[in-house]
Structure 1
């Protein structure tokens, strides 16, 4: 009888508890080239949790996965602009900050900026922040333009971009960035959702298409570093990765990154948990790990993106921490703007206009 009772108890435990020794896993969906790979290895070593890590290179790609449901991911990294729509769609779950010891490390200024997209900071916590600007090969641009790039006029005016076409120009495949930049250049509200304003921006961008080698949001890193192109409208961290890769390769390619004087876009990428996440405990442990000052510093050093963890700044190499391309000065910060997400009707218009910009059809 005792043996029978013991057998029943063991059966009950097996049915209601995780399998003893079962592998713990966390599934991550993040931007390309956006973490120090050794951080993933160290997380597994410290926690015993295996990291399955996939990447994307556009917010549209992430959003499509989230809206389709059954993502299979436990942590994602949406940009702030897209958060509003994703929160409204119910594809993200609220984050319990009481489970994140290191949430106290977030710079209040970044939390404040993020709250414009996520009121109360309920659904996301900042991972990295960055600017959109122009990365360029110093020698090739000097040869063709006779001076460094300082203004959007040098790359958004067709007759100027034409002079650079022979050495290769890339633009971000990101309508969020490109429309905001074009609107601002046209002295319109960069956050405008007016169809006429968007059509004007699309007209400007379409006039540049013949001089653009490719629209892509990650390939320009290696293309710049290898000397295959000379100009890219890109993100600060990626552009500086290109600069560093060229230096490490010992080539004579010298890459500079500039935020044009007319101003540009400031963006926030954030950590969030999909509504259908299956490994919640592991997701919280992973997010909290990334918010540790030493880990945040390592990721900023590896990627050249600024992070939102204030105590990490003294731990970052001075070459990165004092680089105004990574951490802009106060004057530049005042010239940076953010944009909010369009509604579905305007988003469809933007998608259609962007397709026309890229294809001419």
Structure 2
């Protein structure tokens, strides 16, 4: 009797699960959680029109915010876009489900060389597919920067930010740096001749000393808000994402501002990163998520995103649809000699990640 009851309960559970799956598959809903300023105007409307699936689209501006949602569980999101240095730990923690490549036929358009780089954190490319990639470097109001440093000043120089004697010259017109420890510390470590992915706690304390010396001249910590402020002339130097600086440059030009904005990969090297699409383990609509990923990898669709947001993508077939002034810009698509100087930010052990967070809080508090 007891065994029969247990069997019936098991069967009922299976039926309920199957029914729930059918409902989820049939429900025309998709919940996406992505970085701010990261689509073309017709990206989401185009998907909705093509599939009849209604998209709820929310944004964040740091990996820490996304990770908090994922760790809490039951986020309700079907597609998220973590950077690879966070995604590596998230994969290890079982936060994502494997991609069903048979449901992503546009996978064939992905560049094997880029997928090989992503495989460093996602062996076999089982969980992640690139949305965009870029570098972290220096963005300037070039007009103001040359007034401050001189007409022939080298703007592709980390000293402009990390040397306090130079950084203080920018205090009156404003400096902004990314509000994410994992994006900033590697650049400082590289600047002082350390491994940008060091696991030595003393190296991070040395990097903090560098940052503390320029702290009085940092107006804000921002991972996306700096775009409009740089475009409006309220900032004159930022340590930011390549594409975001180029967005600011485009907006300033469209507004007929009397200054120019440009992005520089500092000589000696900078961080390269990948933002990737992933499906949370508890995603309520995984089939719709797969359809969305496949749609994004339509060459014309992904090219439109690159044309709007100035971030390259991993879709080799999309390159022909990317505007020539973007595809030919060496600060967006780095030349081979520059690419060789780039380093990839990697996932850190938890003790180092916690140390970064602690030191970052200390820096922001001005202690």
Distance in 1 between residues matched to 2:214 and 2:171, nearest whole Å: 10
More displaced 10-residue stretch of structure 1: 290-299 or 201-210: 201-210
Q: How big is each residue's C-alpha offset from its partner over 1:69-99, in whole Å with a ceiling of 9 and x where there is no partner?
A: 0111000001010111101111111111121
The alpha carbon displacement at 1:175 in A equals 1.0
- Determine if the alignment matches structure 1 residue 291 to structure 2 residue 297: yes
Instruction: Check the 8 A contact 1:30/1:53 in 2, yes or no.
Output: yes
Which of 179, 182, 189 in structure 2 is aligned with 1:176? 182
Instruction: Check the 8 A contact 1:27/1:75 in 2, yes or no.
Output: yes
- Determine if the alignment matches structure 1 residue 24 to structure 2 residue 19: no
SS at structure 2 position matched to 1:92: coil
Aligned to 1:75: 79
The alpha carbon displacement at 1:253 in A equals 2.4
Aligned to 2:124: 120
SS at structure 2 position matched to 1:306: coil
Q: Report matched runs for 1:202-213 at 5 Å.
A: 202-213=208-219
The 1:204/1:47 distance shift into structure 2, 3 A limit, reads same
- The size of the alignment, in residue pairs, is 348
SS at structure 2 position matched to 1:93: coil
Instruction: Check the 8 A contact 2:175/2:238 in 1, yes or no.
Output: yes
Which of 37, 40, 48 in structure 1 is aligned with 2:41? 37
The alpha carbon displacement at 1:280 in A equals 1.1
More displaced 10-residue stretch of structure 1: 228-237 or 142-151: 142-151
Instruction: Check the 8 A contact 1:25/1:279 in 2, yes or no.
Output: yes
Provide TM-score, normalisation by structure 1: 0.94
Distance in 2 between residues matched to 1:281 and 1:50, nearest whole Å: 14
Aligned to 2:249: 243
- Determine if the alignment matches structure 1 residue 199 to structure 2 residue 205: yes
- Determine if the alignment matches structure 1 residue 229 to structure 2 residue 235: yes
- Determine if the alignment matches structure 1 residue 141 to structure 2 residue 167: no
Aligned to 1:61: 65
Structure 1 gap ranges (5+): 1-11
Provide TM-score, normalisation by structure 2: 0.92
Q: How big is each residue's C-alpha offset from its partner over 1:219-244, in whole Å with a ceiling of 9 and x where there is no partner?
A: 11000100011010000000000000
Distance in 2 between residues matched to 1:16 and 1:349, nearest whole Å: 46
- Determine if the alignment matches structure 1 residue 301 to structure 2 residue 307: yes
Aligned to 2:281: 275
Q: How big is each residue's C-alpha offset from its partner over 1:279-301, in whole Å with a ceiling of 9 and x where there is no partner?
A: 01110000000011000100000
Structure 2 gap ranges (5+): 1-14
The alpha carbon displacement at 1:23 in A equals 5.2
SS at structure 2 position matched to 1:55: strand
The alpha carbon displacement at 1:206 in A equals 1.6
- Determine if the alignment matches structure 1 residue 327 to structure 2 residue 328: no
Aligned to 2:195: 189
Instruction: Check the 8 A contact 2:197/2:348 in 1, yes or no.
Output: no
Distance in 2 between residues matched to 1:78 and 1:341, nearest whole Å: 12
Distance in 2 between residues matched to 1:174 and 1:103, nearest whole Å: 31
Instruction: Check the 8 A contact 1:138/1:148 in 2, yes or no.
Output: no
Instruction: Check the 8 A contact 1:29/1:77 in 2, yes or no.
Output: yes
CA RMSD of aligned residues (A): 1.7
Instruction: Check the 8 A contact 1:85/1:341 in 2, yes or no.
Output: yes
Distance in 2 between residues matched to 1:181 and 1:26, nearest whole Å: 36
The alpha carbon displacement at 1:127 in A equals 1.1
SS at structure 2 position matched to 1:178: helix
Instruction: Check the 8 A contact 1:206/1:356 in 2, yes or no.
Output: no
Q: How big is each residue's C-alpha offset from its partner over 1:90-120, in whole Å with a ceiling of 9 and x where there is no partner?
A: 1111111121000111111110100111111
SS at structure 1 position matched to 2:171: helix
Aligned to 1:347: 353
More displaced 10-residue stretch of structure 1: 84-93 or 269-278: 84-93
Which of 159, 164, 167 in structure 1 is aligned with 2:170? 164
